[in-house]
A and B are shown apart, each in its own frame.
Chain A
Amino acid sequence: DQQVKQNSPSLSVQEGRISILNCDYTNSMFDYFLWYKKYPAEGPTFLISISSIKDKNEDGRFTVFLNKSAKHLSLHIVPSQPGDSAVYFCAAKDTGNQFYFGTGTSLTVIP
């Protein structure tokens, strides 16, 4: 029962270009969505979030888009930098405060 799905296990992007990471979910009751970044041997680090009442949230180079009708979430990183290379997890919270994570997308930014 995978309520949050990241269908692309990996993504490679040239430095300076846009990285687009995608996430799909099945539970229409999710009210909060987050992106985490994870380096090896470290815990997930919060990156950016969006509540279900919004469709876009921007923080510097990072923008999260939410399409509730499609149950789709995306993270845009522009311009991409080599230091952005990491595993990115999409997560969603239900109204009961339980968080569900996707399987992650490994982003490689090529210098």
Chain B
Amino acid sequence: EPEVTQTPSHQVTQMGQEVILRCVPISNHLYFYWYRQILGQKVEFLVSFYNNEISEKSEIFDDQFSVERPDGSNFTLKIRSTKLEDSAMYFCASTLMQGVDQPQHFGDGTRLSIL
């Protein structure tokens, strides 16, 4: 069964540094998402992306964050000038279409640790 893959599985970065989290969505999917889960808290929506542009973003997704689909397969989340509170699991997800009856398929996540 096709799956969403994320790399790296664990990223350790010094505070203030930039980090890029990578995702390869399911190949025929058109909608892409990033979520984060701070330890012990709920999964939080960050951003959705379709047709090479952001379609929705949450309050969390401020100017520190950006997303990109640099080629036909990768979908990246960039965090500039990382802060301690950015430490979390970051999940990428994709769906074939938008709307009802379109569950999101998640990757296994990247654990980001900011030191």
Contact = CB atoms under 8 A, between A and B. Distances in A.
Given A43-B106, A43-B109, A44-B91, A32 B44 contact: no
Q: Which of B43, B55, B56, B102 has the most CB of A within 10 A?
A: B43
Contacts of B31: 97
Interface residues of A, number: 26
B57 to A, nearest CB: 9
A51 B100 contact: yes
B58 interface: yes
Given A41-B108, A43-B91, A97-B98, A34 B48 contact: no
B103 A46 contact: yes
Nearest to A96: B56
Nearest to A43: B106
A97 B101 contact: no
Contact of A103 (B42, B55, B102): B42
A69 interface: no
Contacts of A98: 45, 48, 56, 58
Contact of B104 (A2, A99, A100): A99
Nearest to B43: A101
Interface string B75-89: 000000000000000
Interface in B18-66: 31, 33, 35, 41-45, 48, 55-56, 58
Interface residues of B, number: 28
B15 interface: no
Nearest to B91: A43
A49 interface: yes
A89 B91 CA distance: 14
A97 B56 contact: yes
B96 interface: no
Interface of A: 2, 31-32, 34, 36, 41-46, 49, 51-52, 89, 91, 93, 96-104
12 contacts: A2-B42, A32-B99, A32-B101, A34-B103, A42-B108, A43-B109, A46-B105, A89-B43, A97-B56, A97-B99, A98-B58, A101-B35
